[in-house]
Amino acid sequence: MADEGVTVEFFSRAKLQDRSFEEKMEEIMDKVRESAVLVLEEGWSAEQKRKFIQKTMEEAGEEFPGVEFMGLDPSDNRLERAKSFVFDTVLGQDYRSGLTIVGNSRVMEKMKEEKHSISFLAKLEDDE
């Protein structure tokens, strides 16, 4: 990791929409291995979270400690449920509004996740 700070990257829904979840996981893992923190303009389903946890556990080791992730999911909002219904049934596309933050376990610290807000402290690695 660079000495000057933590890299935070924002991925728009448009950047992610044409990829399978497996392709997204690969790109996310590549960035997280480099200790970047990613902010994704999409929420994840429970199944996607399970797959991501499984993948990171398979890759965790001395060089890569794993990941931390959290998110906001406004799916309890009636408008968001209606959008999801239209995308799923009419357009045949998966629509997951929300926000997901993913980072390397060595970087992410003091995470707080509430219904309508999330916060975290990203720390610089101590290379000594």
Q: Is residue 84 part of a domain?
A: yes
Q: What is the CATH number of the domain that holds 33?
A: 3.30.950
Predicted confidence (pLDDT) per residue in 12-71, tens digit: 888 877 888 899 899 999 998 888 899 998 888 788 889 999 998 898 888 888 888 888
Phi-psi label, residue 92: left if phi above 0, alpha if psi -120 to 50, beta otherwise? left
Domains identified in the chain, total number: 1
Instruction: State the residue for tokens 């499984």.
Output: 54
| pLDDT per residue as tens digits for the range 91-120 | 565 655 678 888 888 888 777 777 777 777
Domain extent for 68: 8-122
pTM of the model: 0.70
127 within domain boundaries: no
Strands (E), 67-125: 67-72, 99-104, 108-113, 118-122
With respect to residue 128, please indicate whether it lies within any of the assigned structural domains: no
Q: Which of 16, 39, 44, 59 is nearest to 108 (CA)?
A: 39
Residue 66, in any domain of the structure: yes
Q: Which pLDDT does position 128 carry in this prediction? A: 44
Distance of CA 120 to CAs 6, 65, 81, 87, 93, Å? 13, 18, 28, 32, 31
Asked whether residue 108 is assigned to any structural domain, the reply reads yes
